[in-house]
Chains A and B, each alone.
Chain A
Amino acid sequence: MSLWVDKYRPTSLSKLDYHLTQAEHLKNLVQQGDFPHLLVYGPSGAGKKTRIMSLLRELYGPGVERLRMERVNFTTPSNKKIEITTLNSNYHLEVNPSDVGIYDRVVIQELIKTVAETHQLDTAGQREFKVVLLSEVDRLTKDAQHALRRTMEKYVASCRIILCANSTSRVIPAIRSRCLSIRVPAPSPEQIIVILQNVCKKEGVTLPPELAERIASKSGRNLRRALLMCETCKVQQTPMQPSQEIPALDWQTFLEDTAKMVVQEQSPKQMSEVRGRLYELLIHGIPPPTIFQGLLEELVKSCDMQMKRRVVEAAAKYEHRLHQGNKSIFHLEAFVATFMSIYKTFMEEMLGGM
């Protein structure tokens, strides 16, 4: 626990830095020692997990923080052996079913049922229920989500389920309606600056306010990223300077360069170069929607309003198709080609007009 991001993570609801009213609500929620199923959602780096863990600690005490990792084996109906890692405490169990891809339904059915079907024998020192924490619910397959919804109702006496997702759009309505949805918005840049300053004070280093501001804006309201960047700044140059260069994320740089290449030249040859770079991004596990987003953000910078509309439209179209399809490179390249075509036509008209 030596990275700042881990070291200064608040562990109780009362110590949270922002969204304080929400924290208060959560505290009230578990006051009676019981709570409904929860669906916590919000962008990455907003503090969903921190809030969930604080809530559990509020409920069960510090024993929740004693975590151990376990590996559970399952056999799918098609006789394939799968293994999944769970994080357990005495009071809860955390699992990310989407780790096993399309077999997540089996995990949901087997694992949660076993947990949920076991009643607590000694209720004196414990709550009557255990908590199952499912992360990345929005990446669950539809099958798994359907498997989940009945389980949620059936075993409500012995278990509570906390779902954690980035967005509710891919969570089926049946599950959304069974849960109390809690949205954790990303912290504002100001909040991030405050937190960065606090952390640096605790560490005993001085953080120039300008640098803090820059980090906050560069992090894209992602607190984790902001803290990591801040610490990297500190490691790179110990008395931190206001004008210090903030380390960029490699994939972001790469994506931006790719977008620049698209703007630079529009030809089949360039397209094959771009394709190579897109492949590279996909290989490194950057999700295609993120690539779409990064490309679009960079590309619209060189467009006028009318073009912007068309480009965004194309991006939306192909991103939608991306979710329907399987081969992301087709859709990414289709978007790139569309942009190139629009841009080139525009440029030629401009030149012709002059």
Chain B
Amino acid sequence: MSDFPDPDEEFELNYGDDLDLLNEAPEDEPDFCYKPPPKIASRRSLQFDNPKDSVSCSSPASQNIQSQKSSHVNNSLLSNRTPAEPVAGPSWLNDDTLADIEEEELKKRKVEELFGDIDDIDLNEYSVAVKKKKTEDEVDKELMDKIVSGRQEAKLKAQSLRVLRDVDCSSDTSSKQENISKRIPKWPFVAITASNGERWYLRKHSDETLHFQISQIGKHVQTLGLLSASYSRLKEQAEEILKQKIEREHEAAFEKRLQALEESSTDSGCELMSEDEDAALWVEKYKPRHYLDLLSDESMNRTLLQWLKLWDKVVFGREKKVKPKPKEEADQSKKFHKGPKGSFKKPFKKFEPKNVLDEELDEHDCPKHKVALLCGPPGLGKTTLAHLVAKHAGYNVVEMNASDDRSPDAFRLQLESATQMQAVMGKQPRPNCLIIDEIDGAPAASIDVLLKFLSGKDISKKKGKKKEVKISRRPIICICNDIYVPALRSLRQVAFTLQFPPTTASRLAQRLLEVARKQGLKTDMGTLVALAEKTQNDIRSCMSVLQFFKGRGTELRLTDVQRSNVGQKDMQKGLFSVWQEIFQIHRPRRGLISVQSRQNDKLIPLPDLDSAEALQTNEVSRASRMQCVLQTVQSFGDYDRVAQGVFENYLNMNLKDTRLEGVTEGLEWFSYFDVMSTRIHTAQNYILMPYLPYAFVIWHFLFSSFAWPKITYPKAGYEATQRRLQTQQLLQTALRGMAASVRAYTHAQPFLQDTAPLLLDLTVPSLRPVSAQLFSARERGEMAHAVDVMLDYNLTYVQLRNADGAYEFLLDPNLEELALFPGSRPRRALAYGCKQLLAHELEMERVRRAEARLGPANAPAPVPAPAPGDAAPADASQPPLACPDPAAAPARPLPNHLQTLKARPVRPDSARVARDFFGRPLQQTQAAAAAVAAVKIDEIVKSPIWFHFKEGYSNAVRRPVKMHELQ
């Protein structure tokens, strides 16, 4: 009974190529397609022996229509059968053919699997694909239903006809030949012209046969068991694979976000989450998946995104391959990007007015701010925003947080790897965007590294050769809670700082309501608003509270929120807000405070505060105020500074007690506070510490008002301390320079209190402003006395230029600064000239004294009368040398510089008269004189030889003369 015996397979193998052509050629012929098959399907129907082709012609829709395709395969195969032939049940179906078909199915499935692995769905077309799939799915479903019903029918028939099949086998082999013929056949046919001009005729089957064949597919598989798995299972598997693939894609997209988004934020848009993930934190579960889901302030989001977009030029602009952008904005920017620089900003300009962001690019095409700094209290979604925006702009997020090693070296390494390298292994290599979370906890040295890196000055010390200047070419987003951490000071100046505003309570509550509805938690809007307010709009803690209440299984009511301690943070406030808390009475908010305080009443007994029943409401608010102040101050911790601030501000408050009793009481507490804190700090007796904050409560009750307090930073105490140190130093200087004999009797305090103020009077002689020569004896005496005193106490007048540019003389250890007070009695002031005179005189006297002190040891000569006793032996060697000087001194009265050269008068020789031994002039005889003269002449003239010696030197004639030549 089998219609397709073994030879059929051979035929196919032989004529496969031809069949291809046959099938392709008559595509358009209307009567060929009895059931209008999709074009692709018909083309592919004969390619099953060549599965690689189908790989090459992968179209996005192809993998989604597997089942449909398989039915077409059957169709085309079955179409070979002649409709005229009597159809006896499924008997025309040959086992082998079926096996063939199934094999083809298997192959196809493999191909599909391959498709799944190789062919990634583009994000852009993803949504389209899904839509397409849905329509085809419906088609599939119809088909599958048919198959299932047909299969069940066939099963029954197959069992009954199994016996007959073996007999029919032979008869079917003959009929097989008639499916294709070269001549015009008798049976209905389709004419095909081959490429070489040959004409073939294919048998045409009716629709019924087709449907029947389809219905037979499953049956034979089951009965024959040639395949390892039944068709239905394969089909299921195929569907499973398809489904998995879709899910995988969803999950892949989701995973990406999941790894990126870490901070809590809520979102309703995660329909794909299955039920079994109830265990996950809601914070994670309802985290925003898309930019539009963000709860944080819209302008903030946009500004950050805008800043990130500024990097497009340097980050994406250099790459040849156009990156697929997740958002149409990005695509737009790409398009614009081809144009001149900066034009890609156009899409923003439409809806965004110029923000605080400086959009200019520097010479490296980088934005001016190399780093963005997000700051704000915890739980507002800073990290979520950063991750989402980075993702949105097409970056791969690299995160560093407090859990990472952030020593400078590790930090640099991370920084370099994140900004200069790029993942190549991932599915889609994207440029990195570094997010440094919790940067306020990083050591200052690491932040220095970051700064140097940003400015391009960072040159690694490890490598000997100098590196080229590196400019950070990847955006860096820093996140911190407290922007005023000292370590961040320098970063703050270069970074693009974004203060994170809290989400509005109503908006947050709306989202919470959405989440609650999804999770089946009964609650209402008012409760959620209260919750949001209570947690100060901390999204994370709101979500945790919700989940907690869900876990309890009860509905969430307003009272629950009020009563619960959850969601309250131990938040440290700023100094000014602490002071404000102390000085300002907050108007009690009815609902929240009262319940809270009543609850607190149980915790801490307040003996003095709950006295009168009539003042119940007042009492309650007082108790809550006390709690509030206590908590604030305790959480701040630095009591001394807060106390100083209170001390310096309380007098400016609007104090109402006319008799100053409140002030007195307050000051009593200040006094107590000081004694306590001194005790604590000197003795390290920290057990007393808890008693300190109660003083603040008292001050709050005494000094606070409803009005807004004007608080100034307490400077007076600090300034006073500084100035006191200054005066102390001055005093030390003054004491240090004193003469030892005076110093012995002078100590700091007496000097400061008694001597210094009076010294200012004592050192001012009453001098007329005239020349020193004209001073009277009294004036001279006074001046000498003043000079003496000043020298004793090491005072001098120093000429200084004052602010006006005029010169004035000031005391050197400036006693005036030490001793004078504002509004001191006027002193007798010396005129400028007198001070100058005095200063000069001081200098002279000082030199004189120094000389006198050094005199006996170093310079004995100028001393007119050296002490005879001890100086004589020491100077024993000196007198011979020194004597001529004193002796010569009177002889030459003229000082050296007045002497001039004078010609010495020539003394005539004749004037000398020869004298004898006794001094009598000698009477020389003429003869003797003549004899003497004769002797003189003779000695020169008488000699026969004269020599004339000429001085000088000549080498005109010089030749060697030997001794023997001379002889």
Tell me which of B16-24, B685-693, B719-727 binds A: B719-727
A3–B792 touching, CB < 8 Å: yes
A286 to B814, CA, bound (A): 17
The segment from A13-21, A34-42, A172-180, A327-335 that touches chain B is: A327-335
CB-CB under 8 A for A285 and B724, given A251-B757, A331-B671: yes
Partner of A280, one of B652, B731, B752, B822: B822
Question: With A228-B754, A282-B724 in contact, do A334 and B667 touch (Cβ < 8 Å)?
Answer: yes
Q: Within the complex, what minimum Cβ distance (angstroms) separates A341 from chain B?
A: 4
A198, CB-defined interface residue at 8 Å: no
Asked if A58 lies at the interface with its beta carbon under 8 angstroms from chain B, I say no
Chain B residues closer than 8 Å to A94, beta-carbon distance: 744
| Contacts known (A235-B782, A285-B752, A337-B660); A69 close to B740, Cβ less than 8 A | yes
Measured between beta carbons, the chain A residues less than 8 angstroms from B764 are: 235
Interface-located stretch among A25-33, A103-111, A153-161, A242-250 = A242-250
Encoded as 1 (CB less than 8 Å from any B CB) or 0, chain A from 268 to 299 comes to: 11011001100111111111001000000000
| Chain B, residue nearest A67 (CB) | B740
Identify the stretch in A45-53, A121-129, A206-214 within 8 Å (CB) of chain B at 4 or more residues.
A45-53
> Does chain B have a CB within 8 A of A253?
yes
* A120 CB–B CB distance under 8 Å: no
For residue A348, CB closer than 8 A to chain B, the reply is yes
A306 at the binding interface (Cβ < 8 Å) = no
By a CB distance below 8 angstroms, the chain B residues around A337 are: 660, 663-664, 667
Report A-chain residues with C-beta under 8 Å of the C-beta of B426.
Answer: none
Query: Which residues on B sit within 8 Å (CB–CB) of A334?
Result: 664, 667-668, 670-671
A3 to B821, CA, bound (A): 24
Complex interface: chain A residues within 8 A of B298 (CB): none
- Which residues in window 765-787 of B have CB below 8 A to A? 765-766, 778, 782, 785
Q: Which of A72-80, A144-152, A182-190, A317-325 contacts B (4 or more CB under 8 A)?
A: A317-325
Q: Which residues in chain B, 110-168, are within 8 Å of chain A measured between CB atoms?
A: none
A345 contacts the other chain (CB 8 A): yes
Instruction: Identify which of B99-107, B450-458, B672-680 touches chain A.
Output: B672-680
Is A49 a contact partner of B755 (Cβ separation < 8 A)? no
**What residues of chain A lie closer than 8 Å to B824, measured between beta carbons?**
250, 253-254
Closest-CB distance, B784 to chain A (whole angstroms): 9
Cross-chain contact B678 with A324 (CB below 8 angstroms) = yes
* CB-CB nearest in chain A for B740: A67
Tell me the smallest distance from the CB of B704 to a CB of chain A, in Å.
15
Least CB separation from B663: chain A residue: A337
A302 at the interface (CB under 8 A from B): no
Q: In the complex the two chains form, is A250's CB within 8 Å of B825's CB?
A: yes
Of residues 800 to 829 in B, which have CB atoms within 8 Å of A's CB atoms? 818-825, 828
Complex CA gap A276/B717 in Å reads: 10
Query: With an 8 A cutoff between CB atoms, is A222 at the interface?
Result: yes
A67 to B742, CA, bound (A): 10
**Which residue from A65, A250, A286 sits with its C-beta under 8 Å from B741?**
A65
Question: CA–CA, A50 to B745, complex, Å?
Answer: 7
Q: A73 → chain B, closest Cβ, in Å?
A: 14
B747–A340 touching, CB < 8 Å: no
Contact with B659, one of A251, A287, A341 (Cβ below 8 angstroms)? A341
Contacts of B785 in A (CB 8 A): 2
Pick the residue among B736, B757, B766 that contacts A85 (CB under 8 A). B736
Chain A residues with CB below 8 A from B754, complex form: 44-45, 222, 224-225, 228, 249
Q: Does B758 interact with chain A (Cβ within 8 Å)?
A: yes
* CB-nearest residue of chain B to A258: B821
- 8 Å CB contact of B663 from A65, A287, A318, A341: A341
Query: How far is the CB of A303 from the nearest CB of chain B, in Å?
Result: 16
- The answer to whether B758 touches A249 (Cβ under 8 A) is yes
B728 proximal to A (CB < 8 A): yes
Is A251 a contact of B674 with CB atoms below 8 Å? no
Given contacts A228-B762, A286-B753, contact A6 B745 (CB under 8 A): yes
Secondary structure dominating the interface of A = helix
Residues A229 and B758 in contact, CB atoms below 8 Å apart: yes
Interface members, chain B 76-90 (any A CB < 8 Å):
none
CA distance A67 to B745 in the complex (A): 12
Interface size on A, residues (CB 8 A): 75
Chain A residue nearest to B676 (CB atoms) is A325
Residues of chain A from 217 to 238 with CB closer than 8 A to chain B in the complex: 222, 224-225, 228-229, 231-232, 235-236, 238
Q: Is B255 an interface residue (CB 8 A)?
A: no
Asked whether, in the complex, the Cβ of A68 is within 8 Å of the Cβ of B740, the reply is: yes
Minimum CB–CB distance from A250 to chain B (whole Å) comes to 4
- A1, B758: Cβ atoms under 8 Å? no
Given A249-B753, A341-B659, A345-B659: A9 in contact with B716 (beta carbons within 8 A): no
Q: How far is the CA of A9 from the CA of B744 in the complex (A)?
A: 12
B49 proximal to A (CB < 8 A): no
Near A by CB (< 8 A), chain B positions 243-268 give none
Contacts of A276 in B (CB 8 A): 716
Residues of A within 8 A of B818 (CB): 284-285
Contacts of B823 on A, CB cut-off 8 Å? Answer: 254, 257
Does the CB pair B745–A3 fall under 8 Å?
no
B618-658 vs A: 1/0 string, CB under 8 Å? 00000000000000000000000000000100011001001
The answer to whether B825 and A253 have CB atoms under 8 Å apart is: yes
Judge whether A341 and B727 touch: CB under 8 Å: no
With A249-B758, A284-B818 already in contact, the answer to whether A325 and B675 are too (CB < 8 A) is yes
Least Cβ–Cβ distance between B287 and chain A, in angstroms: 52
Q: How far is the CA of A248 from the CA of B764 in the complex (A)?
A: 16
In residues 204-256 of chain B, which contact A (Cβ within 8 Å)?
none
Given contacts A251-B757, A272-B651, contact A344 B664 (CB under 8 A): no
Q: Which residues of B contact A2 (CB under 8 A)?
A: 785, 788-789, 792
Please give, as numbers and ranges, the residues of chain A lying within 8 Å of B605 by CB-CB distance.
none
The answer to the question of A12 belonging to the interface, with a C-beta cut-off of 8 Å to chain B, is no
| A45→B742 contact, CB < 8 A | no
Q: Say if the beta carbon of B880 comes within 8 Å of chain A.
A: no
Question: What's the minimum C-beta distance from B775 to chain A, rounded to whole angstroms?
Answer: 15
B663 lies within 8 A of A325 (CB): no
B855-875 contacts to A, CB under 8 A, are: none
Residues of A contacting B659 with CB < 8 Å? 341, 344-345, 348
Which residue of chain B is the closest to A318 with respect to CB atoms?
A: B671
Given contacts A87-B743, A94-B744, A285-B731, is CB(A340)–CB(B757) below 8 Å?
no
Q: B788: which A residues are within 8 A, CB to CB?
A: 2
| Cβ of B416 under 8 Å from chain A | no
Q: In the complex, A94 Cα to B748 Cα: how many Å?
A: 14
Tell me if A338 and B664 are in contact (CB < 8 A): yes
In Å, the complex CA distance between A86 and B763 comes to 27
Chain B residues with CB under 8 A of A228? 754-755, 758, 762
Give the chain B neighbours of A341 by CB distance below 8 A: 659-661, 663-664
Q: Which residue of B lies closest to A85 (CB)?
A: B736
The answer to the question of A169 belonging to the interface, with a C-beta cut-off of 8 Å to chain B, is no
* In the assembled complex, B960 has its CB within 8 A of some CB on chain A: no
Tell me, rounded to whole Å, the shortest Cβ–Cβ distance linking B744 to chain A: 6
Contact A283 B743 (CB under 8 A): no
- Which of B663, B745, B789 is the one whose CB lies under 8 Å from A271? B663
Q: Which residue of B lies closest to A333 (CB)?
A: B667
Rounded to whole angstroms, the CA-CA distance of A99 and B733 in the bound complex is 12
Inter-chain contacts of B743 with A (CB < 8 A):
67, 69, 87
Give the residue of A326, A340, A348 whose beta carbon is less than 8 angstroms from that of B677.
A326
Assembly CA distance A205 to B471 (angstroms): 86
Residue of B nearest to A345 (CB): B659
Could you name 22 residue pairs across A and B whose Cβ atoms are closer than 8 Å? A87-B743, A235-B762, A235-B766, A247-B825, A253-B821, A253-B824, A266-B660, A272-B652, A279-B716, A280-B821, A284-B752, A285-B818, A286-B753, A325-B674, A327-B674, A327-B717, A330-B674, A334-B664, A334-B668, A337-B660, A337-B667, A340-B664
- Per CB-CB distance, the 5 closest pairs between chain A and chain B, nearest first, are A2-B788, A334-B667, A325-B674, A67-B740, A254-B821
* Extra pairs beyond A269-B651, A330-B673 (18, CB < 8 Å): A9-B745, A50-B745, A85-B735, A136-B747, A232-B758, A235-B782, A236-B828, A268-B651, A279-B716, A283-B720, A284-B818, A284-B821, A325-B671, A337-B663, A338-B664, A338-B668, A341-B660, A344-B658
